[in-house]
């Protein structure tokens, strides 16, 4: 009897032990600070105040997206807490806020922080701390450097990619073009110009005139006159909206009719083409990677319908004409996808690993055919763009999806 | 003489502050010092970093305080001197491989020279006109830093990344803590030197000019020399603060040194109390922490909330922290009597 009881006890304890090990083997949950059974905390830094505050909408859209996600049960049962701080577009403040997020709020990662110099200021810190700095909201090409900065990854197509798309188009369709470039004298304009020259490579001699303007200048009229005088027949405008509109208008006034190429930054119907005058904007070429929520051609598109319902229910004050809303939505969707792929292994290392293994992922608001692809040696999620031409009162996409990458 | 000129020349730019009222008593100083030494041992690295920035901005506010509170001249161009200091340190560390501690005196000297030279033409201006001239300097600086000619050194629009120094002699402390104590020592040194400067012959000359320029020159004060000197000293200290700031933030870029920074420093000086040197640290705390508080109250309206808080401070305690300190002193004295 005693023997039997002992046997029973032994059996029972063995069973318990097996069950316990099984449990561990089955779950294999791994967390770094910022993740747990019920919550994933992610950080974000936006210029809600200061000179770039118009971009603050991106942060608000992302907050609304994660709120909606949480209402639908979160990611694998975990709620996403989106902690977003204001840096006023000042790099010193960005460093302070990033340290606050990492050291005080214990976030798992920092996501989609906006600005080139602001993100450059925290890149070294994030890589020393080995905390992911994911999907940086800046068009600089330097976020794609997995060898030196394995914890930093970009998101949107870089200026260099976009410049390459234009260069390919010009070399193919107008091989004897004489190009005039107008650019903004700041990190955006200079980075872009560098990309443009790199894209033309040995054909950079095609660029016959360059003019830089300061954002503090009230008008850039005389610069357009100068560019016309150079005899150029192709005009590349690396400008922000206000100056882009001025440039198109002035060119029409002085009867300069080159092939006009306008950076995606300013390809806004309401913000640029309309103030410049639709009659002056005909035939302007640009490139896009996001759907334009103001364009009726997407009204029946299922992705766009999802976005519009989201905007109506979660962020009704959002303006669908503002490209920042479409941008923030797609970025947040990419982030959610990566967290979903992480499963129960929510460590810094696995987040980076999953972010670097996105395959043909297509957020709702990206142009059809453009997908997100990354690999351990490719930290540039979006590399494709499609050319578009302004006709009537809207942009018309044309040609196939073009890759900004080399070799295509 | 036009009405505008009359206003500018007749009203003293800054209310006179007797020189003794410019500092704290020994007891209070020691308490503040003890707090600054002990707190970092008890808090997280992130808080230590914030305290480092607190000291750095306090130095910059102090520099402005010497200029405005001491010699009665306005400046909205402190961000330019701060930028020159930051870039000097960053360039020397990253391109010349110089030790960070050695770059600071160099940053200070270069900024002193820069400020002294800028003080020459500024001599002809006073009051609001001087403020505007310095404003021009602050607006021009970020663009100068972007110029192609200097790009090889400054990194152009991309800025420069600076390496943070480790604690020397194998001291068992984090980089942040080491940098904090290093900054603390530099700050105390500069604070003591500033207090002594204002108590010296030169300091009296500054204040004589502030109170009445004509009377000062009648008494034999070389107005031109001392006015430019005040500019030089102020710029030099701001330069050291800028250098420390570059090391603490580990990054310099033109966008970091806009007119916004100059206005923040000016704000810090007013909130801390014009002409009251210990107020600098209070002013610095205001410009670092109050925007965070404002953001905590409302993200969309953080600017407006900050404005309301600032308005309350100016309205309730127009003389800033100095006024609060005086009231506190009187209360303590009353308690002691009872």
Pairing of strands B251-252, B160-161: antiparallel
Q: Are residues A395 and A338 in the same domain?
A: no
Q: What is the span of the domain harbouring residue A340?
A: 39-157+298-377
- The reply to whether A252 and A276 lie within a common domain is yes
Q: Same structural domain for residues A180 and A321?
A: no
Same domain assignment for residues A283 and A196: yes
Q: pLDDT tier at A67 (50, 70, 90 boundaries)? A: very high
Position B7 pLDDT exceeds 60 = no
> How far does A156 lie from chain B, in Å, by closest CA?
19
pLDDT at A98 > cutoff 50: yes
Q: Kind of pairing, strands A394-397 and B160-161? A: unpaired
Interface check A100 vs B, CB under 8 A: yes
Asked if B253 lies within 8 A of A124 by C-beta distance, the reply is: no
Helices B78-95 and B127-146: angle between axes, nearest 10 degrees: 30
Asked whether the predicted pLDDT for residue A117 surpasses 60, the reply is yes
Decide if B53 touches A, using CB distance below 8 A.
yes
pLDDT (tens digit, 9 = 90+) per residue, A210-244? 999 887 778 899 999 999 999 999 999 999 888 99
Pair A43, A144 in one domain = yes
* Helix H or strand E segment including B321: helix B321-337
A251 with A277, same domain: the answer is yes
Q: Would you call A92 and B260 a contact, using CB atoms and an 8 Å cutoff?
A: no
pLDDT > 60? residue B21:
no
**3 state SS of B14:** coil
Residues A275 and A391 in one domain: yes
Is residue A133 a contact partner of residue A109, using CB atoms and an 8 Å limit? yes
Q: Is the ipTM of this complex over 0.85?
A: no
B:279-338 residues touching chain A, CB 8 A cutoff:
288, 291, 295, 299-300, 302-303
What is the rounded average pLDDT of the residues B12-22? 53
Which chain B positions have a beta carbon within 8 Å of A84's beta carbon? Answer: 299
Bridge partner residues of A389 (DSSP): A285, A396
Q: What is the CATH number of the domain that holds A278?
A: 3.40.50.2300
Contact A86 B245 (CB under 8 A): no
If asked whether residues A81 and A213 sit together in one domain, one would say no
Q: B249 vs chain A: nearest CA distance in angstroms?
A: 6
Residue ranges of the alpha helices (H) in A148-265? Answer: 159-173, 187-200, 221-229, 241-253
Q: Which residue in chain A is spatially nearest to B294 when comparing CA positions? A: A86
pLDDT, position A407: 45
Kindly calculate the radius of gyration of chain B based on its CA atoms and give it in whole angstroms. Answer: 20
Spell out which residues of chain A touch residue B249, defining contact as CB-CB under 8 Å: 91-92, 95, 121
Residue A48 near chain B (CB below 8 Å) = yes
- B253 vs A: CB within 8 A: yes
Q: Is residue A10 part of a domain?
A: no
Residue B244 vs residues A152, B89, B102, B247: alpha-carbon distances, Å: 27, 8, 11, 5
pLDDT of residue A313: 93
Residue contact A91–B300, C-beta within 8 A? no
A120, A123, A183, best to mutate vs chain B, most B CBs in 10 Å: A120
In a domain, A56, yes or no: yes
Least confident of A49-53, A258-262, B34-38: A49-53
The DSSP code sequence of B226-281 is HHHHHHHHHHHHHHHHHHHHHHHHTEE-GGGGSHHHHHHHHHHHHHH-TT-TTHHH
pLDDT the model gives residue B193: 93
Q: Which of the residues A47, A57, A92, A98 would you substitute to probe the B interface, choosing the one with the greatest number of B C-beta atoms within 10 Å?
A: A92
| A27 within a domain of the structure (yes/no) | no
User: Which whole number is the average pLDDT over A117-142?
Assistant: 91
* Cβ-based contacts under 8 A for chains A and B: 92
What is the pLDDT confidence band of residue A189, given thresholds at 50, 70 and 90?
confident
pLDDT of B18 reads: 55
Is residue B111 pLDDT above 70, yes or no?
yes
Instruction: Inform me whether the C-beta atom of residue B175 falls under 8 Å from chain A C-beta atoms.
Output: no
In a domain? residue A11: no
Q: What is the reported pLDDT for B64? A: 94
pLDDT value, residue A8: 60
- Residue B223: half-sphere exposure toward Cβ, Cα within 13 Å: 19
**What is the CB neighbour count within 10 angstroms for residue A179?**
28
Query: For residue A83, what pLDDT is reported?
Result: 94
Please report where in the chains the tokens 């954002």 appear, as a residue. Answer: A215
Question: Are A41 and A107 within 8 A, CB to CB?
Answer: yes
Residue A350 lies in a domain: yes
Confidence of residue A372 (pLDDT cuts 50, 70, 90): very high
> Among partner residues B46, B250, B253, which is closest to A100 by beta-carbon distance?
B46
Put simply, the answer to whether B46 touches A48 (Cβ < 8 Å) is no
**Predicted pLDDT at A362:** 94
- Is there a single domain that holds both residue A104 and residue A185? no
Q: How far is CA B46 from the centre of its chain?
A: 22
Q: Within this chain, do residues A310 and A272 fall inside the same structural domain, yes or no?
A: no
Query: Residue B257: is its pLDDT beyond 50?
Result: yes
pLDDT in tens, B303-334: 788 888 888 888 888 888 888 888 888 888 88
Q: Inspect the interface and report whether the beta carbons of B157 and A90 lie closer than 8 Å.
A: no
Q: How confident is the model at residue A259 (pLDDT cuts 50, 70, 90)?
A: very high
A304-331 as b/e: b if 16+ CB within 10 A? beebbebbeebbeebeeebbbbbbbbbb
* Residue pLDDT, tens place only, A325-339: 999 999 999 999 999
Interface contact flag, B45 A103, Cβ < 8 Å = yes
pLDDT higher than threshold 90 for residue B10: no
Q: Which residues on chain B are in Cβ contact (under 8 Å) with A104?
A: 44, 46-47
Calculate how close chain B gets to A162, using CA atoms only, in Å: 19
On average, the pLDDT of chain A sits at: 88
Which residues in chain A have Cβ-Cβ distances shorter than 8 Å to B302? Answer: 48-49, 86
Residue A408 reports pLDDT greater than 70: no
Q: Same domain for A398 and A283?
A: yes
* A7 within domain boundaries: no
Single out the residue of B88, B87, B150, B142 nearest to residue B254, CA to CA.
B142
A20 assigned to some structural domain:
no
Instruction: Reply yes or no on whether the pLDDT at B5 is more than 60.
Output: no
Q: What is the pLDDT confidence band of residue A18, given thresholds at 50, 70 and 90?
A: low
DSSP result, A323-347: HHHHHHHHHHHHHHHHHHHHTTEE-
Task: Kindly state whether B174 is in contact with chain A, defined as any CB-CB distance less than 8 angstroms.
Answer: no
Q: How many domains does chain A have?
A: 2
pLDDT per position as a tens digit, B35-74: 888 888 888 888 899 999 999 999 999 999 999 988 888 8
Reported as a single tens digit per residue, the pLDDT across B81-102 is 999 999 999 999 988 888 889 9
- Confidence at residue B90, expressed as pLDDT on a 0 to 100 scale: 93
Same domain, A139 and A250: no
Question: How many other C-beta atoms are found inside a 10 Å radius of the C-beta of residue B17?
Answer: 21
Residues in chain A closer than 8 A to B260 (CB atoms): 50, 88, 90
In-domain check, residue A309: yes
What pairing do the DSSP bridges indicate for beta strands A384-391 and A394-397?
Answer: antiparallel
**For residues A216 and A21, which has the higher predicted lDDT (pLDDT)?**
A216
Q: Which of A141-150, B10-19, B186-195, B268-277 has the lowest mean pLDDT?
A: B10-19
In sequence order, the 6+-apart residues with CB closer than 8 A to the CB of B133 are B77, B121, B122, B125
Assess A299–B contact: CB distance below 8 Å, yes or no. Answer: no
Can you read off the two tokens belonging to residue A380?
Answer: 């540039």
Non-local CB neighbours of B322 within 8 Å, separated by 6+ positions: B21, B272, B273, B275, B276, B279
**CA–CA separation, B154 and B254 (whole Å):** 9
Distance in angstroms (rounded) separating the CA atoms of residues B289 and B204: 34
**pLDDT in the model for residue B72:** 86
Which of A 128-157 lie inside 8 A of B, CB atoms? 142
């Amino acid at each position: 009897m005693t023997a039997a009881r002992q046997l029973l006890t032994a059996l029972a304890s063995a069973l318990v032990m097996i069950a316990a090990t099984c449990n561990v083997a089955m779950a294999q949950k791994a967390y770094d600070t910022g993740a747990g059974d019920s919550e994933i905390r992610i950080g974000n830094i936006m210029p809600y105040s200061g000179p770039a505050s118009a971009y603050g909408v991106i942060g608000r859209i992302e907050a609304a997206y994660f709120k909606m996600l949480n209402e639908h049960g979160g990611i694998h049962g975990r709620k996403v807490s989106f902690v977003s701080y204001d840096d006023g577009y000042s790099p010193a403040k960005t460093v302070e806020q990033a340290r606050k997020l990492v050291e005080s709020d214990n976030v798992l990662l920092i996501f989609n922080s906006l600005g080139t110099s602001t993100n450059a200021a925290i890149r070294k810190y994030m890589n020393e701390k080995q905390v992911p700095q994911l999907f940086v909201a800046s068009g600089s090409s330097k976020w794609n450097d997995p060898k030196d900065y394995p914890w930093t990854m970009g998101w949107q197509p870089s200026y260099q990619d976009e410049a390459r798309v234009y260069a390919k188009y010009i070399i193919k369709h107008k091989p004897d073009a004489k190009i005039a470039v107008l650019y903004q004298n700041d990190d955006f304009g200079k980075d872009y110009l560098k990309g443009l020259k790199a894209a033309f490579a040995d054909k950079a001699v095609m660029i016959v005139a360059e003019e830089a303007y300061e954002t503090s200048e009230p008008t850039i009229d005389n610069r357009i006159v100068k560019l016309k005088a150079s005899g150029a027949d192709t005009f590349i405008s690396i400008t922000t909206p206000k100056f882009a509109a001025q440039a198109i208008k002035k060119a029409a006034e002085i009867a300069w009719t080159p092939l006009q190429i306008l950076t995606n930054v300013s390809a806004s119907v309401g913000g640029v083409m309309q103030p410049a005058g639709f009659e002056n904007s005909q035939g302007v070429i640009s490139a896009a990677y996001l759907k334009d929520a103001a364009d009726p051609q997407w009204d029946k598109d299922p992705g766009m319908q999802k976005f519009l319902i989201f905007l109506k229910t979660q962020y009704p004050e959002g303006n669908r004409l503002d490209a920042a809303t479409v941008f923030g939505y797609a970025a947040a969707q990419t982030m959610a996808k990566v967290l979903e792929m992480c499963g129960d292994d929510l460590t810094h290392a696995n987040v980076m690993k999953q972010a670097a293994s996105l395959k043909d992922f297509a957020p709702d608001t990206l142009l059809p055919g453009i997908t997100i692809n990354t690999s351990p040696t490719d930290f540039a999620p979006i590399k494709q763009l499609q050319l578009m031409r302004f006709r009537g009162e809207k942009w018309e996409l044309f040609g196939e999806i073009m890759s900004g990458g080399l070799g295509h | 003489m036009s009405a505008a000129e009359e206003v500018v020349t007749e009203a003293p730019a800054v209310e006179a502050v007797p020189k003794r009222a410019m500092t704290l008593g020994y007891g209070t100083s020691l308490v503040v010092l003890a707090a600054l030494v002990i707190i970092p041992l008890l808090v997280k690295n992130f808080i230590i970093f914030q305290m480092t920035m607190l000291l750095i901005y306090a130095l910059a506010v102090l520099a402005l305080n010497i200029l405005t509170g001491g010699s009665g001249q306005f400046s909205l161009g402190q961000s330019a001197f701060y930028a020159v200091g930051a870039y000097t340190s960053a360039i020397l560390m990253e391109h010349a491989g110089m030790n960070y501690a050695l770059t600071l005196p160099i940053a200070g000297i270069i900024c002193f020279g820069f400020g002294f030279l800028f003080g020459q033409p500024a001599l002809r201006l006073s009051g609001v006109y001087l403020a505007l001239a310095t404003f021009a300097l602050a607006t021009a600086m970020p663009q100068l830093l972007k110029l192609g000619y200097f790009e090889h050194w400054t990194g152009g629009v991309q800025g420069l990344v600076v390496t943070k120094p480790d604690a020397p002699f194998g001291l068992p402390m984090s980089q942040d803590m080491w940098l904090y104590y290093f900054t603390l020592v530099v700050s105390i040194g500069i604070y003591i030197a500033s207090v002594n400067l204002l108590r010296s012959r030169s300091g009296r000359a500054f204040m004589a000019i502030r109170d009445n320029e004509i009377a000062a020159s009648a008494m034999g004060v070389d107005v031109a020399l001392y006015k430019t000197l005040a500019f030089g000293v102020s710029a030099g200290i701001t330069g050291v603060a800028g250098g420390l700031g570059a090391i603490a933030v580990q990054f310099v870029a033109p966008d970091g040194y806009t007119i916004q920074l100059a206005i923040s420093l000016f704000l810090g000086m007013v909130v801390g109390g014009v002409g009251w040197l210990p107020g600098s640290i209070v002013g610095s705390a205001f410009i670092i922490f109050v925007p965070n508080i404002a953001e905590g109250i409302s993200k969309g309206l953080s600017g407006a909330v900050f404005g309301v808080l600032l308005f309350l401070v100016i309205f309730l305690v127009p003389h800033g922290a100095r006024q609060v300190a005086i009231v506190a002193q009187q209360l303590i004295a009353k308690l002691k009597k009872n």
